[in-house]
Every structure is written in C-alpha cells, then in structure tokens.
Structure 1
Amino acid sequence: MTGRLENSRALVTGAAQGIGLAVAERFLAEGASVLIADVNPDKGEGAAQALNDRYNGKAHFQLADVSDLRQLRALVQGCMNTLGGIDVLVNNAGITRPADILDITEEAYDRVLAVNLKAGVFATQFAAQAMIAQGTGGVVINMSSVNAVLTIPEILAYNLSKGAINQLTRNAAVALAPHRIRVCGIGPGTIMTELSRVTAASDESKVNVILSRTPMGRIGEPEEVASVAAFLASKDASYVTGETVYVDGGRLGLNYIVNHQTASGTSNG
C-alpha cells in the first residue's frame, strides 16, 4: 500500500460488513485511523477488533442508527473525540425495502429515505461543519448505486434515494468547494457482499441474469469499491469533486444482454 491516507481520520457508516468494512480496511491499510459506525453492535465491535489486530489499534467502533439525527450528530462528535478530528466521511449506510409504486407503504418509504438519504444529507452537514472549524478541508464520499440511473421497479424507494444521493453529491460539492471540502460519489454495480452471497449469488439462474447485464462477465468484489474510495479520499483525487464514479463492470454502458456462456456452460468472465 502507498500510505496515501497517512494521518487521515475517517468516519465510515454502515461499516460492520460488506462494502463499508472493505472501505474501512483499505483506509487503515493506507494509513488512516477509522471510526466504524453501524447499527449492529456485535458485528461492529467484531469488525473493529479484527481490524485492530492487523492495524495496531487504529480502528474504533461507535453504535449508531444514522436515521436518528441525534445519534448522527453524536457520531460525528465521537469521531472528533476518538480520532482527534475528521478528514474523511463515507456515507455508506443503506437499506432497501422491496416494493414497487403499487405496493410501497409510507413506513417502508420513510425508513429507506431516512437511512439512505436523510442520513447522508445531515452527516455531510455535521462533518462539513467540523471540517470547516478545523480549517483543514476534507472529503465526503457518498455511496450511490447504478440504480441511481437504472431502475428496478421492485425497489422504488431505494432507486429514489440513490438518485437523490447523486444530486446531493453535486449540490454539496459546489456549496463546500470554497471550504476546500470535496464531495464525490461511488456507484457500485452488483458486488459480492454477504447479502449477495445468500441471495443472488446462491442461485445460478440469478447469477446468469447479472452476468448478462455485465460486460466484464463477473460480479465485483467489495475491495474493488474500496480501492476507488481510497483514491477519492486521497490527494491523488485533489481536483475531483461533484462526480460519481461507477464501479459496475461496464453495466451502465450496456444496452443489450451479453451471453457469457461458453459451449461447456461456463462463464468467460
């Protein structure tokens, strides 16, 4: 590793597993100290302990439901107290509630938008205020999705939240540029997280559907998203703001189905 984030102090939400955990680990490998935030205390504490065993006690955990603004404000303050400041915020926490326009309930809509969007808005506000007070600038990274652009009718609220996250990235980037705070987004395609392993990836027919929409012919890994996050958080991306980088194996550029099956029935990817 290059140590591009040496002495940086990062807060990563939804980081007890999956993409968030991969981002936290990559940041630690690059020299940062990291506060892991999650709503699951057992997984969060376990993740922080496992990372500390490899990265000399530079990982910490704080329990938080990011949809609660009091807990969210306390989380940013906790980063200030525990790490001595905040240089990078990764708004990664996210959920979905399957439902289309005919079936969506107010409860499901409100919950998804609270975790996926409201938390991103106010975490950015609280973190930016702290960064401005420090006078050191900073970076905010919002976890979007290819579903901010594409659409799956059965996850209406999730689609809406991710589309709005892209606009948050653009809006906040312009507003915070005078304060030397960059705001960027990452839009993953299908990534092999714990959830994917027990849902889509456990069903060969579902895997084939995913691959048919993915030019590179494979499912992505959390570490591949984390490497983009490390770049965006570093000085290597010092002139990048307001942009969302899609880590999707080419999916957004595809307007037809790709057949990755060979004559033997195995994938070319």
Structure 2
Amino acid sequence: MAWFKRKEKGITTPTEEKKDSPNGLWHKTPSGKIIHVKELQENAYVCPDDNFHERIGSTEYFEILFDRNEYTELDANMSFADPLEFVDSKPYPERIKASQKKTGLKDAARSAYGKINGKDLCVCCMDFNFIGGSMGSVVGEKIARAIDYSLKTKTPFLMISKSGGARMMEAGFSLMQMAKTSAKLALLEEAKVPYISLMTDPTTGGVTASFAMLGDFNIAEPGALIGFAGPRVIRETIGKDLPKGFQSAEFLLEHGFLDFIVNRRKLKDTLTTLLRLLEN
C-alpha cells in the first residue's frame, strides 16, 4: 500500500505560502451556476444562462453606454445638506458620510454627458447602493441640472432609475423633488428635446410617481420591479389577491405602461437606433 503513503518530504505547499482565491473572482447566478466575474462584466452584467440582469450602478452603466468609457460628469462634488436635522437611529449626516465612505459616491445619482455610437447623450443614473437609491435634494437637483444641460445643448436626455423612492430623512424636501423634476421635464418637452426613461430593478415610490414615468419613451430591463406602493400594501388596500407577475416590467408592458423592454446587452445599440429615428 506504499502508493497511499508520501515517502518524500517537502513536496507540499507550506501553510504560510498558500494563497486564497481573490474575493469577487466568481459569481453565483440565481439558477445556481458559477461564472467568472470577467465573463459577467463582458456580458453587460447579465447572467448568460438565465438572462438575469444583475443590479449595477452608474459606473457600470456609463461604461456600457459611453464610447470608450469617455464622458464628462456634471456636478460631481455636489453633496448633502441637513436642513431638518433629522435623527433616527443616528444623525442623518453620519448616515450620509457612512454611505459615501462605503460606496465612494457623493449621493444616490450621477449625471454625465458624452457620446454613444457617436451620438450625443446626457445620462443621469441612480445608484441603489447609496441608501437604497432614495431620492433626496441632491438627487433631484442633479436631475434638474442634467435636464438644464440637455435644454441648453439640445442633447437627448436618458434617465436610468433604480430607487426605493423618496428619502424619508428629508421629508417634504424629498417630495418637492417630484414636482421640480417633473417641471423641468415639461420644459424639455416644450423644447422638443427627447427624453428616454429607463426603469431598472427596482423603480418604486416617488420616483415612479414622477420622472420615471414621464419619458417620451418609457422602457425597462427584463424582470424589473416597477411600481408605486408595495404589493402587500396594495393587496391590503383593495382586499384582493394581485395578478401573477404584478409590477414586473413584463406585466407593465402588457398593460400599456411601457413602450418596450430592452436587454442590457442590446441597450446601447437600441438607444442609438431610437436616437437616429428621433433625429429623422
């Protein structure tokens, strides 16, 4: 039974020299398959086996959309104020600073302009990792200023929504952003500058009730949750069970709330085609 015994010494790797696999090297899809993160990135963060669209933020969307990942960010250093001096489990400024440190973002939205397939486009994108993508004063002001840039330069505007709704820590100031952004979009419509609203998973609350549903074209990613109140609240209010797939992008498309659903892998080319049609 000598072949079961190791006669030579020193052929194993010492414990102190063993190396662990880097964190984040592999990704497990909802169907249980394991794929390399690089493959996922090259596939626009869409799982190739089940078409599941992973949640991504502004950095990834800008990388997918802008030619050679070249863009100019608008109001990059805009940060929060605390007019209400809100305190919950901890003061609001502390929560903001913790989120900024964790995510590397100033707030839950970033805006930039550049070119996609040679076409000018201004994009504002929400980041769910920053306090659930909630809409506060900074988010509303960034959207408003991005629209101002589109108005000034006659550049089509794309809004990528991914949010839990209004930010409760800013109370009325947060709700005011619904009216402000909607009013700005009315100016965009008067100037006949195209506005495309892309709803991703999830798009809910005051965001859905304002700018997310006001696009000249309202589009969504497959499987995205889109709605105002949650299913449980609606069920308890109307006292009835909800239809299967309620508040999914596919359900909304079937009932006329969306113009079309676009796979993220085809997003850039689809937007380019749409912009060309609008030009003509």
TM-score (norm 1): 0.35
From the CA coordinates, give the structure whose radius of gyration is larger.
Answer: 2
Q: Name the structure with the higher helix share.
A: 1
Instruction: Determine which structure has greater relative contact order: mean sequence separation of CA pairs < 8 Å that are 6+ residues apart, divided by chain length.
Output: 1
TM-score (norm 2): 0.34
